[in-house]
Structure 1
Amino acid sequence: MSVKSDKMDEQKRAGGAGPVAKKLTPFGGYYANRTPDHDPELTETGPGTPMGEYMRRFWHPVCMSMELTDTPRFLKILTEELVAFRDKSGRVGVLHAHCVHRGASLEYGAIQERGIMCCYHGMVFDVDGACLHVPFPKGEEKEAEKYACSIRQGAYKAVERNGLVFAYMGPPEEEPPFPEWEGDYTVLPGDELVPYSNFQHCNWLQVQDNAADNYHPTALHAGKNVVDGHYQGTTFDEVGAASMEVAPDMNFVPVQSGRSLACAGARRVNKDRLFVRVQHQVLPNLSLHAYTSEDGSKKKFFSRFHIIRWTVPVDDENSKMIGWRVMGPGIDTRGVGHKEMVGYETIDFLEGQVAMRRPERFGKYKLEDMPPIPTNHRERAIYKEAQYAPGDYEAIISQRPIAVHALENPTKFDAGLYQFRKMLRDAVRGNNAASSAHGFAEWFRELGGAPNSFCSGNVFEVEEGATVEEEVTRRRKVLKSVVQILTESDGMKGAERADFVRDRFEALEQSLKRA
């Protein structure tokens, strides 16, 4: 796939961005002041839209388990207004928010031993939408039963996994197996999946694009780029992972029959070690990330998940970043994670990764040391900090509520996100049977619901090339070989696969030492 050709395709769909000559005119802002429409095929996810119908054939996390209390939880997912609750028998329900009787919101309903009761007239609905009770007058029980059988509240099947609530919002007859990626997500003994959910004030796709943009840490996450040194200890500098600030060689490879994308990056730690990080982007909105705090100080092969996350559309101009942080000594070999900061609207890594700015820092002052000030003053202080040291959140939401692809001018290092967009488009249009919703469902069934991930973090003991040309050749050979080995291992499971990958990585390292 050519970045240039895909870019031209996007501009053509949006009506073009104007003559190139005029766009390049000095002080020629006038010739570039029209904003084309966004790309509805990929960005809009409401009922009946191409992407919305595709997404509804997959399981998505909709909230955290901790959000289900003794009152219902109002949600908006894929532009639908929903209510999630846990009834007193422990079952989780995800229903349409507006009561099928007269439209009152079930967010004000009363949770029952079985189901939920609408506050307006007392209709009770089960987690599958069945009407369990209609409050007709005494003596009219048969009429009440008849009425109850004539209505049903819109409902979606829900399951819980490790502190997250997932829902399937598609046709019941097309429900796919719930994908247990590698069964237990390859969490090592002593490690755990810690759930989190963070709101993103923009379209889902630009959040997902960011996960495939492996080049941006070079600038966005570098402390050296903080304005005049006003704000130190930012992003990867927070945890001392300077290797993440090195411009990487990248290799983006569609894998698993075009259902996912392996995003492999090679960064030179020092003259003796090469850090190779493989992120895994899975259609339509799942991404699996290797260790974000790797400093490359020790040899390491096939380190697995540090972050597992879905980018879930709320509506077309808002989304959720929701998933798990893997915490513990197995993955976090440097011990820099903070479990107490992982949860609802909070995360422990990368200042500016989400809307939250750590409350204890307002400029050089601690919050408790600041005199009482108006809320807007406080907000201005946070905004100023974000201007000094912007993070992913600021960069992503500032692309407009819905990014306009036709105005982009990509470089070769943007190839990952353009490749992923093309894979999405092929899936939605039915150009790739394997990545269709039906193709995914059949694949999950064949694998017993437990597909493998290509996600891995690796530190090779490979000396730097004697020349720039030799170094580039060496890095690119490693990248290509790593993805090839992971591909060859995809039919294996568990320890067998891990042993195979590590043995082959060891052989690759030795071959480079002999070269």
Structure 2
Amino acid sequence: MSVKSDKLEDQRSSGGASVAKKLVPYGGYYTNKVPGHDPELTGTGPGTPMGEFMRAFWHPVCMSIELTDTPRFLKILGEELVAFRDGSGRVGVLHAHCVHRGASLEYGAIMEHGIRCCYHGMVFDVDGACLHVPFPKGEEKEAQKYACSIRQGAYKAVERNGLVFAYMGPPEAEPPFPEWEGDFTVLPGDELVPYSNFQHCNWLQVQDNAADNYHPTALHAGKNVVNERYQGTTFDEVGAASMEVAPDMHFVPVQQGRSLACAGARRVDKDRLFVRVQHQVLPNLSLHAYTSEDGSKKKLFSRFHIIRWTVPVDDENSKMIGWRVMGPGIDTRGVGDKSLVGYESIDFLEGQVAMRRPERFGQYALEDLPPIPPDHREREHYKDAQYAPGDYEAIISQRPIAVHALEHPTRFDAGLFQFRKMLRDAVRGTNAAASARAFAEWFREQGGAPNSYCSGNVFEIAEGETVEEEVQRRRMVTRRIIDILNNGESMKGAERSTFVRNSFEELEQSMKR
């Protein structure tokens, strides 16, 4: 046996997965053991660190259109729930299993006030109170006594612009509902259009994708589609080459480590620089600037285009649920299609979510879902997805729960790793400002309407004469943009918008001198 072989045998017997083993040609044997996932961040059930942290926030749980004349079964944060709108118009979100004998309220009857269990007729109000117990006539006092002794698990719910939100934490610690920037700064003529897309994987890898501003250069580039087999999938969605340019990224924790500003500079052409600032907010909110920017015209401090939460269903499933901002104020190119935005449908990345696969919900009615074959690789649209994979395929194919220990990150992965660190700091209490209690207090201080760093900008800034000068120019611009947004944190509304736009104008002029 050679010295090299002896060394490898010693490494195998000692059990360590060394760099030497990993770099051996055809050395799959040395990397075939898959370690466990990262439960501190990926587990969200009751009693888990991340699950308890998430329960301190409001989350969208379904769309308003899902509340029909029958209860809607849901699974959120590992809990089985039913959502419904009673005859008086109130929305209830209750534990699915009746507190009496465990029958599911998904088969219950919606009443004028509350919901009636199908099994024995118990009626529960939206706050969980038992309104009626069907005891025999003459036993009304006993029935009332029994009704006062039980309570169905319930969560407070509110509706906003076609979405149903629930607070699933301790009722005594309920935070204000965060109306970011006062209804998300929708310009006159624009509107918040709700949507919901199921993701067949853990919540964190979906949220990671939102912080990964580098992947569009490959995943959303039409040039990478096999033999131009688009199969109805929208690539080059920006309408220009700018999104295929590798961005120069600058990641900055802001708002005392409660959120992350992700500024990416892309060169549109030799005269214009496109700088897009995404905003990631703990634990699972992301705010995105215009996705269809072609960079053809100057634009300063353009606001929200996508607002979304990544909501855990259980540890191996999640939802992307939020609003797509539609209208001429944000969609300056007029490429949005409102008719495609809704339940299991979205217009801006057709084919990039599960809607491409009708066996994965698609645009079927809730009651008409076709059977799911046992192997997803045998499904009707599997080959189409291979020709033109999108976010959905890239995200769910990381395994049902991505294994962080097997990752080998590069510099451009810095945003998602920074966000993971911020999550850990919040969960562990190593950043007191990001604790659930501090978050709630901050929301109150902000009047329930904190500022977002999200913005899309096209600057008339010429390309540097050398590569070195261009790199320096891009990085200087992204840093100064974040500085300006930081300086405007104490301002609100029109005052802040005017300050930021004027400061961006000064930045552009300074780069021309």
TM-score range, shorter chain: over 0.9
| Structural mapping, 1:74-473, within 5 Å | 74-231=73-230, 234-357=233-356, 380-473=379-472
Judging changes above 3 Å, is the alpha-carbon distance between structure 1 residues 500 and 159 closer, same or farther for their aligned structure 2 residues? same
CA distance in 2, matches of 1:409, 1:34: 16
> Which residue in the other structure is 1:499 paired with?
498
Residues 213 and 417 of structure 1 are in contact (CA less than 8 Å); yes or no, is this contact kept in structure 2? yes
* Secondary structure in structure 2 of the residue aligned to 1:42: helix
CA distance in 1, matches of 2:16, 2:445: 45
Shift of 1:17: 7.7
Shift of 1:240: 1.4
Shift of 1:230: 2.6
CA distance in 1, matches of 2:153, 2:460: 57
CA distance in 2, matches of 1:155, 1:38: 31
Residues 351 and 391 of structure 1 are in contact (CA less than 8 Å); yes or no, is this contact kept in structure 2? no
CA distance in 2, matches of 1:390, 1:149: 55
Residues 180 and 450 of structure 1 are in contact (CA less than 8 Å); yes or no, is this contact kept in structure 2? yes
CA distance in 1, matches of 2:309, 2:151: 30
Residues 17 and 406 of structure 1 are in contact (CA less than 8 Å); yes or no, is this contact kept in structure 2? no
> Which residue in the other structure is 2:49 paired with?
50
CA distance in 1, matches of 2:418, 2:238: 31
Judging changes above 3 Å, is the alpha-carbon distance between structure 1 residues 33 and 165 closer, same or farther for their aligned structure 2 residues? same
Q: TM-score when scaled to structure 1?
A: 0.92
Judging changes above 3 Å, is the alpha-carbon distance between structure 1 residues 470 and 498 closer, same or farther for their aligned structure 2 residues? same
Shift of 1:18: 1.4
> Which residue in the other structure is 1:4 paired with?
none
Residues 223 and 232 of structure 1 are in contact (CA less than 8 Å); yes or no, is this contact kept in structure 2? no
CA distance in 1, matches of 2:395, 2:109: 39
Amino acid at match of 2:83: A
Shift of 1:375: 9.4
Judging changes above 3 Å, is the alpha-carbon distance between structure 1 residues 467 and 192 closer, same or farther for their aligned structure 2 residues? same
* Secondary structure in structure 1 of the residue aligned to 2:383: helix
CA distance in 1, matches of 2:129, 2:233: 51
CA distance in 2, matches of 1:339, 1:418: 34
Residues 289 and 456 of structure 2 are in contact (CA less than 8 Å); yes or no, is this contact kept in structure 1? yes
Residues 236 and 242 of structure 1 are in contact (CA less than 8 Å); yes or no, is this contact kept in structure 2? no
> Which residue in the other structure is 1:8 paired with?
none
User: Percent sequence identity over matched residues?
Assistant: 86
Deviations 1:402-442 (A, max 9, x none): 00000000000000000000000000000011100001000
> Which residue in the other structure is 1:371 paired with?
none
Residues 346 and 356 of structure 1 are in contact (CA less than 8 Å); yes or no, is this contact kept in structure 2? yes
- Residue segments in structure 2 that go unaligned for 5+ positions in a row: 1-14, 359-370
RMSD: 1.6
Worse overlay, 241-250 or 269-278 = 241-250
Shift of 1:378: 12
Shift of 1:235: 3.8
Judging changes above 3 Å, is the alpha-carbon distance between structure 1 residues 157 and 497 closer, same or farther for their aligned structure 2 residues? same
* Secondary structure in structure 2 of the residue aligned to 1:428: helix
Aligned residues, how many?
485
Amino acid at match of 1:72: P
Residues 232 and 351 of structure 2 are in contact (CA less than 8 Å); yes or no, is this contact kept in structure 1? no
Deviations 1:105-137 (A, max 9, x none): 000000000000000000000000000000000
Residues 278 and 288 of structure 2 are in contact (CA less than 8 Å); yes or no, is this contact kept in structure 1? yes
> Which residue in the other structure is 2:31 paired with?
32
> Which residue in the other structure is 2:362 paired with?
none
Q: Does 1:71 align with 2:76?
A: no
Q: TM-score when scaled to structure 2?
A: 0.93
Residues 197 and 343 of structure 1 are in contact (CA less than 8 Å); yes or no, is this contact kept in structure 2? yes
Judging changes above 3 Å, is the alpha-carbon distance between structure 1 residues 236 and 509 closer, same or farther for their aligned structure 2 residues? farther
Amino acid at match of 2:145: K
Residues 237 and 291 of structure 2 are in contact (CA less than 8 Å); yes or no, is this contact kept in structure 1? no
* Secondary structure in structure 1 of the residue aligned to 2:309: strand
* Secondary structure in structure 2 of the residue aligned to 1:348: coil
CA distance in 1, matches of 2:162, 2:465: 50
CA distance in 2, matches of 1:107, 1:101: 15
Judging changes above 3 Å, is the alpha-carbon distance between structure 1 residues 414 and 85 closer, same or farther for their aligned structure 2 residues? same
Residues 305 and 331 of structure 1 are in contact (CA less than 8 Å); yes or no, is this contact kept in structure 2? yes
Residues 357 and 380 of structure 2 are in contact (CA less than 8 Å); yes or no, is this contact kept in structure 1? no
Shift of 1:28: 0.2
Shift of 1:379: 6.6
Deviations 1:335-386 (A, max 9, x none): 0000000000000011332111187xxxxxxxxxxxxxx9979974411111
Shift of 1:231: 2.5
Shift of 1:477: 0.3
Judging changes above 3 Å, is the alpha-carbon distance between structure 1 residues 44 and 85 closer, same or farther for their aligned structure 2 residues? same
Shift of 1:242: 2.2
Deviations 1:194-237 (A, max 9, x none): 00000000000000000000000000000001112232775442
- Residue segments in structure 1 that go unaligned for 5+ positions in a row: 1-15, 360-373
CA distance in 2, matches of 1:297, 1:496: 27
Residues 221 and 234 of structure 1 are in contact (CA less than 8 Å); yes or no, is this contact kept in structure 2? no
> Which residue in the other structure is 2:7 paired with?
none
Amino acid at match of 2:116: M
CA distance in 1, matches of 2:173, 2:303: 32
> Which residue in the other structure is 2:11 paired with?
none
> Which residue in the other structure is 1:369 paired with?
none
Judging changes above 3 Å, is the alpha-carbon distance between structure 1 residues 281 and 238 closer, same or farther for their aligned structure 2 residues? closer
Residues 198 and 322 of structure 1 are in contact (CA less than 8 Å); yes or no, is this contact kept in structure 2? yes
CA distance in 2, matches of 1:391, 1:231: 11
CA distance in 1, matches of 2:154, 2:462: 58
Residues 236 and 243 of structure 2 are in contact (CA less than 8 Å); yes or no, is this contact kept in structure 1? no
CA distance in 2, matches of 1:358, 1:267: 33
Moved over 3 A (4+): 232-236, 374-381
CA distance in 1, matches of 2:119, 2:489: 54
CA distance in 2, matches of 1:430, 1:438: 11
* Secondary structure in structure 1 of the residue aligned to 2:346: coil
Judging changes above 3 Å, is the alpha-carbon distance between structure 1 residues 391 and 304 closer, same or farther for their aligned structure 2 residues? same
Deviations 1:126-185 (A, max 9, x none): 000000000000000000000000000000000000000000000000100000000121
Residues 226 and 232 of structure 1 are in contact (CA less than 8 Å); yes or no, is this contact kept in structure 2? no
Deviations 1:257-299 (A, max 9, x none): 0000000000000000000000000000000000000000000
